[in-house]
């Protein structure tokens, strides 16, 4: 294994913008996290703050305002990281309202939109949501499907999610045991069966950063991820 192996140079899912969700609380922390990503080999990062109807009603104004602060702080600190922003949308009633009202969604690239399920309640209208997204011209990415415990009953559900139209994005730390053995088993299933073309840090805080940079974690990344190319957004966009 090469020294300090890291499987991606572009991160498409993180919470490094300050003070607008459960990620970085302030600009100082944001700079520490970004510097850590840079040291790991990341050269481009797409920040994806949560948009959740009953918790984080972020929008283009709040997200771009935080992005401007981070970009300026990076320039002032001499961190040569290309940073942009999109969002991670909870597939809740508020999201469906945004779709109905045709509010432009904040995409990772072209028409690629990062989405997530509730951790506690299994969605029962997934087909309707995907249909509406595709009808509006968006291509949905499902963040960390391996982390939804209610999907662990039958791993064949990941084939169905892909068939419905989701691109699947696995968290790097899911492969390492960071979120527990059931999540690791699901993440390994998804990767081994070529169901995902996207992996990301989902970086929230310094504990995530330390785990990502751990030598044992990097050995696992090399074992599971070194044979494929990751995060080719042009290839996935419609």
Number of domain units in the chain = 1
Q: For the chain, give the number of residues.
A: 238
DSSP state, residue 165: T
Q: Any idea what the CATH number is for the domain that residue 61 is in?
A: 3.20.20.140
Residue 236 lies in a domain: no
- What residue numbers bound the domain in which 180 lies? 10-227
Residue 4 lies in a domain: no
pLDDT of residue 166: 98
Distance CA(105)–CA(84), nearest Å, equals 15
Residue 27 lies in a domain: yes
Residue 194 lies in a domain: yes
Identify the CA nearest to 229 among candidates 192, 199, 193: 199
Query: pLDDT tens-digit profile of 159-168?
Result: 999 999 999 9
pLDDT of residue 225: 98
Query: pLDDT tens-digit profile of 5-62?
Result: 999 999 999 999 999 999 999 999 999 999 999 999 999 999 999 999 999 999 999 9
Residue 1 lies in a domain: no
Q: Quick one: angle between helices 215-225 and 206-213, nearest 10?
A: 70
Residue 84 lies in a domain: yes
- Written as six digits, the tokens of 196 are 């995902």
Residue 232 lies in a domain: no
Q: Find the mean pLDDT for residues 201-222.
A: 97
* Percent of the chain predicted with pLDDT > 90: 97
């Amino acid at each position: 294994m090469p020294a300090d192996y890291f499987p991606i140079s572009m991160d498409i899912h993180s919470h490094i913008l300050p003070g607008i969700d459960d990620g970085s609380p302030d600009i100082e922390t944001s700079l520490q996290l970004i510097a850590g990503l840079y040291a790991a080999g990341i050269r481009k990062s797409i920040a994806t703050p949560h948009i959740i109807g009953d918790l984080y009603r972020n929008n283009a104004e709040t997200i771009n305002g935080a992005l401007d602060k981070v970009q300026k702080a990076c320039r002032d600190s001499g961190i040569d990281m290309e940073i942009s922003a999109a969002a991670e949308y909870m597939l809740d009633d508020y999201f469906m309202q945004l779709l109905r009202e045709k509010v432009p969604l904040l995409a990772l690239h072209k028409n690629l939109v990062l989405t997530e399920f509730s951790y506690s309640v299994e969605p029962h209208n997934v087909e309707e949501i995907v249909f509406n997204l595709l009808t509006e011209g968006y291509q949905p990415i499902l963040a960390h499907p391996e982390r939804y415990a209610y999907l662990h009953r039958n791993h064949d559900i990941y084939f169905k999610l892909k068939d419905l139209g989701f691109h699947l994005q696995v968290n790097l730390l899911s492969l390492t045991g960071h979120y527990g053995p059931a999540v690791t088993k699901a993440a390994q299933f998804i990767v081994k069966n070529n169901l995902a073309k996207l992996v990301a840090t989902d970086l929230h805080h310094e504990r995530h950063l330390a785990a990502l940079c751990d030598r044992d974690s990097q050995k696992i990344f090399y074992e599971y991820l070194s044979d494929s190319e990751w995060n080719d957004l042009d290839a996935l966009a419609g």
